[in-house]
Amino acid sequence: MKAHASRLIAARLGLALLTLLIVSAVVFGITGLLPGDAAQQALGQAATPEAVTALRHQFGLDQPALQRYFEWLYLVVSGNFGTSLSNSLPVSQLIATRLPNSLMLAGLTALVSVPVALFIGISSAMFRGSLLDRVLNVLTLSTVAVPEFLIATIAVLVFAVKLRWLPALSYLSEVSSFGGLLRIYAMPVMTLCCVLVAQMARMTRAAVLDQLNASYVEMAILKGASPMRVVLRHVLPNTIGPIANAVALSLSYLFGGVVIVESIFNYPGLASLMVDAVTNRDMPLVQGCVMVFCAAYLLLVLIADLAQIVSNPRLRQR
């Protein structure tokens, strides 16, 4: 009886793959086709035309664009992103050393922010219109609008400079104990959490309110169910889908947020690798990083979609 659900899941999966394909074309189009070219850049302005032509041939830049795209795509699918121009290491190896660090940061952030945000969102929806709700509304509205680097600089100013509790930069080599872990990750995680919690709480609140306006809630209240019971037993199961969506969307914001946070705290993650690559105009490395970011984003959205399908009995059992 689950043919419908599995067909839906298959459609979502196909859509995600199609999107990834389009993304790869866009990324390759921007980085590989339009600007001058890599051979000229690698050799500098003073290079002789012959040398440039020779290097162009060596890079395969004299091939037609479409052919180059498909060759590149073939290599990417098989896990080979090419060689970094700035330190001639394989891009996939560079990404592999940095990715776990970024995942660690993202994982810790999610671990802290999701429960806090759900708590804030649900309680402000329960007490809608109250002073608590209004204060939380203004607070989250303001936090969303503050740039990460402001939060990060204030955090450094307070905790590293004034109080001297935490180091201003993250050196992962020092992690040996739980306390050390806490000291390293406290500030980056805190900075990321600030904006994330605000976003997620607002979306959660909207999702819960959406359900609170439904007629079955009125029915439950008329039956005499307590407000607590209405929210926990009647409303929450129905909001799993929208909330999963909200969480995924907010977490996907992480991919933008880490760009700033990793460079401020000098954290050796994927995003700071990418910023360095952009500064050095190291195209293969940039391409590789973007593809990893987009794949991660699509994976998150896919998981949220699946949660929505699985949590909805109407979709699950038809």
Partner 1 sequence: MNRPANSSIHHPGTELYDMGLDDIVNDLAVPEPELAGPKPGVLKRLHRRFSVLGLIGLVLVVFWLIIAVIGPWIAPYKSGALSSVDVFAGSSHAFLLGTDYLGRDMLSRILYGTRYTVGLALAAALMASLIGTFFGLIAAVSGRWVDEILSRLFDALISIPSKVLALVVIAAFGSSIPMLMGVAALAYIPGAFRISRSLAVNLMTLEYVQVARARGERLFYIARVEVLPNMIHPMLADFGLRFVFIVLLLSGLSFLGLGVQPPNADWGSLVRENIGGLAEGALAVMMPAIAIATLTIGVNLLIDNLRRRGGRGQGAAQ
Stretch that binds partner 1, among 62-70, 79-87, 174-182, 202-210 (CB under 8 A): 202-210
Q: How far is the CB of 301 from partner 1 (least distance, A)?
A: 5
User: If binding is defined by CB under 8 A, does position 37 make contact with partner 1?
Assistant: no
Q: How far is the CB of 145 from partner 1 (least distance, A)?
A: 4
User: If binding is defined by CB under 8 A, does position 245 make contact with partner 1?
Assistant: yes
- Which position among 48, 176, 177, 213 is part of the footprint of partner 1 (CB under 8 A)? 213
Q: Tell me the site size for partner 1, rule CB under 8 A.
A: 67
For the segment 3-22, give every residue that binds partner 1 (CB under 8 A). 12, 15, 18-20, 22
C-alpha angle 69-44-268 in degrees, rounded to nearest 5: 70
Q: Distances in Å between the alpha carbon of 95 and those of 23, 55, 74, 109, 283?
A: 19, 26, 18, 21, 14
Distance CA 56, CA 34 (A): 15
Residue 83 has φ and ψ, to the nearest 5°, of -115, 140
Q: How far is the CB of 298 from partner 1 (least distance, A)?
A: 6
Q: Is 129 left (phi over 0), alpha (psi -120 to 50) or beta?
A: left
Stretch that binds partner 1, among 46-54, 174-182, 208-216, 217-225 (CB under 8 A): 208-216
Contact 277, 285 (CB under 8 A): yes
Q: How far is the CB of 50 from partner 1 (least distance, A)?
A: 26
- Which position among 81, 185, 255, 265 is part of the footprint of partner 1 (CB under 8 A)? 255
Contact 52, 3 (CB under 8 A): no
Q: Which of 225, 253 has the CB closer to partner 1? A: 253
Q: Is 44 left (phi over 0), alpha (psi -120 to 50) or beta?
A: left
- Which position among 35, 60, 115, 180 is part of the footprint of partner 1 (CB under 8 A)? 35
> Hunting for tokens 């699950």 — which residue is that?
316
User: If binding is defined by CB under 8 A, does position 293 make contact with partner 1?
Assistant: yes
User: If binding is defined by CB under 8 A, does position 141 make contact with partner 1?
Assistant: yes
Contacts of 91 by beta carbon, 8 Å cutoff, 6+ apart: 81, 82, 83, 84, 284, 285, 287, 288
> Hunting for tokens 């199609």 — which residue is that?
18
- Which position among 102, 113, 191, 199 is part of the footprint of partner 1 (CB under 8 A)? 199
Q: How far is the CB of 183 from partner 1 (least distance, A)?
A: 19
Q: Which of 162, 314 has the CB closer to partner 1? A: 162
- Which position among 48, 173, 215, 279 is part of the footprint of partner 1 (CB under 8 A)? 279
Q: How far is the CB of 107 from partner 1 (least distance, A)?
A: 18
- Which position among 148, 185, 191, 231 is part of the footprint of partner 1 (CB under 8 A)? 148
Note the residues at the interface with partner 1 (CB under 8 A).
12, 15, 18-20, 22-23, 26-27, 30-31, 34-35, 128-129, 137-138, 141-142, 144-150, 153, 156-157, 161-162, 199, 202-203, 206, 209-210, 212-213, 245-246, 249-250, 252-253, 255-256, 259-260, 263, 274-275, 277-279, 281-283, 286, 289-290, 293-294, 297-298, 301, 305
